[in-house]
Structure 1
Amino acid sequence: MKYFVILAFLAIIASLGSALFFMMRDGQDGKPKTNNMARALAFRVGFSVLLFVCILGAWKLGYIHPTGIPLK
C-alpha cells in the first residue's frame, strides 16, 4: 500500500509538471493553443480522486489503520 501511495503522488506531481510545461509552451511561436494543459490537469484530478478512494477503501477493508490521538 505504501508503494501505491508513493507511485500515485509521483503521478500527481508529474501531471502537474506536465500541465506547467504545456502552459508555458503553448501559444508561443505563433502555434495554436492545444488542450494538453487541460488534459494534464484533468488527469491530476483523476489521480487525486483515485488515490483518495483507494485509501478510503483500504481503511474500510482493514489494510491500513489510523494512528495518532485515541478517541475517548
Structure 2
Amino acid sequence: MKWIAIVGFVAIIGSLAAALFFMMRRPSEGDHQARSRHMARALTFRIGFSVLLFVLVLVAYLMGWVQPTGLPVSR
C-alpha cells in the first residue's frame, strides 16, 4: 500500500509540473487555445489522481489493510 501512495503522489506532482510547464511556456502565434487546453487537462488529471488516491486509502482502511496510528499521547 505504501508504494501505491508514493506512485499516487508522484503522479500528482508530475501533473502539477506539466500544468506549470504549459502555463509558463512562451505562447507562439495562435497557441493560446492549445496551451490553455493542455494546462486544463493536466490539472484535471491532478484532481483525478487526488480523488483516486483518497478513495484507495479509504478502501484500504475499510478492508483493514492499513491501520491508523494516531499521535502518541504524552503527559
Q: Same fold (TM over 0.5)?
A: yes
Q: Give unmatched runs, 5+ long, in structure 1.
A: none
Instruction: Tell me what 2:12 maps to.
Output: 12
Amino acid at match of 1:59: Y
Q: SS state of the match for residue 69, structure 2? A: coil
Q: Mind listing any 5+ residue stretches in structure 2 that lack a counterpart?
A: none
Q: What is the TM-score when the length of structure 1 is the normalising length?
A: 0.88
CA-based RMSD of the aligned residues comes to 1.4
Number of the residue aligned with 2:48? 46
In the superposition, the TM-score normalised over structure 2's length comes to: 0.85
Instruction: Report what 2:65 is aligned to.
Output: 63
Query: Structure 1 residue runs of 4+, over 6 Å off?
Result: none
After superposition, give the CA deviation of every residue in 1:42-71 in whole Å (9 maximum; x if it has no partner). 00000000000000000000000001248x
Sequence identity percentage? 55
Counterparts of residues 17-28 of structure 1 (less than 5 Å): 17-25=17-25, 28=27
State the structure with bigger RCO (CA 8 A, min sep 6), 1 or 2: 2
